[in-house]
């Protein structure tokens, strides 16, 4: 037969395991939120820098809409 204190230690160990899982999950979620906030702040800063740049320093690429001009240029 089992001792009277044995069941209580098993339950205590079970709840300690569950508690550790809850604490670890909370810590992981807090860290992921921290990373998301850091990425959002970096993107906002990059957007602010890009918006404040003068038009002469930004590169603009214009695509030719007519594919015929490339075909005519390729013929000898």
pLDDT, position 1: 46
The pLDDT, as a whole number, for residue 23 is 98
63 falls in which pLDDT band (50, 70, 90)? Answer: low
- Residue range 63-72: mean pLDDT, rounded: 57
Residue 3 is encoded by which pair of tokens? 């001792």
Q: Examine the pLDDT at 72 and tell me if it is beyond 60.
A: no
Q: Give the pTM.
A: 0.53
pLDDT in tens, 3-62: 555 778 889 999 999 999 999 999 999 999 999 999 999 999 998 888 887 555 555 555
- C-alpha 20: how far from chain center: 25
Contact of 70 with 64, CB cutoff 8 Å:
yes
């Amino acid at each position: 037969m089992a001792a009277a204190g044995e069941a209580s230690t098993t339950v205590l160990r079970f709840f300690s395991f569950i508690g550790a899982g809850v604490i670890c999950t909370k810590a992981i979620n807090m860290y992921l939120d921290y990373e998301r906030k850091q990425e959002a702040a970096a993107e906002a800063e990059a957007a602010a820098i890009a918006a404040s740049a003068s038009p002469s320093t930004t590169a603009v690429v214009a695509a030719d809409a007519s594919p015929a001009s490339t075909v005519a240029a390729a013929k000898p």
